[in-house]
Amino acid sequence: MNFQVPQFIEVEDKVVGPLTFKQFIYLAGGAGLAFVFYAMLGWYLGMVPIILVLAFSFALAFYKINDRPFIYMAEAYIRYLASNKLYIWKKDLNKQAVKKSAELDKAPLKTARPDLPHSKLHELSWNLNIKEISEAQNK
């Protein structure tokens, strides 16, 4: 049995001329709100709100940012304005780490003597590493 797989499912259908249904709704809503401003404020007082409403409706209908519709950016902006903006960073300090760093600050800095042979120096560092690991496992 062969089935036909739908293709181009991400492309919206053109319903009203060259416009999709969403684009038509955005433009019709912008035109309706612009008419309300014109009826309430007149031509000269309503010029600025009418231009802003029409620009916003055209942006909703046609403008894309990073290949995503403008409505997603407008929604993110509104959510950002409505949300809390107080961010507090609380670092969970481990008591052992604090104690170890305090001990390291108090301890004098030890440097390896250059006249020790390589094998002796390697043996000392190996012993220190093993001692640190065993102490960490015992705690």
- Check if the beta carbon of residue 26 is closer than 8 Å to that of residue 57: yes
Q: What is the mean pLDDT of each run of 10 residues along the chain (139 residues)?
A: 81 82 94 96 92 96 92 94 82 64 62 57 73 64
Please tell me the number of Cα atoms within 13 Å of 53 on its side-chain side.
17
Rounded to two decimals, the pTM is: 0.55
Q: What is the total residue count of the chain?
A: 139
Residue ranges covered by each domain of the chain:
14-82
**CB of 57 closer than 8 Å to CB of 30:** yes
Given this model, what pLDDT does residue 85 score?
Answer: 81
* Burial of 23 from C-beta contacts in 10 A (0-12 / 13-18 / 19+): buried
Output the pLDDT for position 98.
Answer: 65
**Residue type, position 2, single letter:** N
- pLDDT computed for residue 23 by the predictor: 92
pLDDT of residue 2: 85
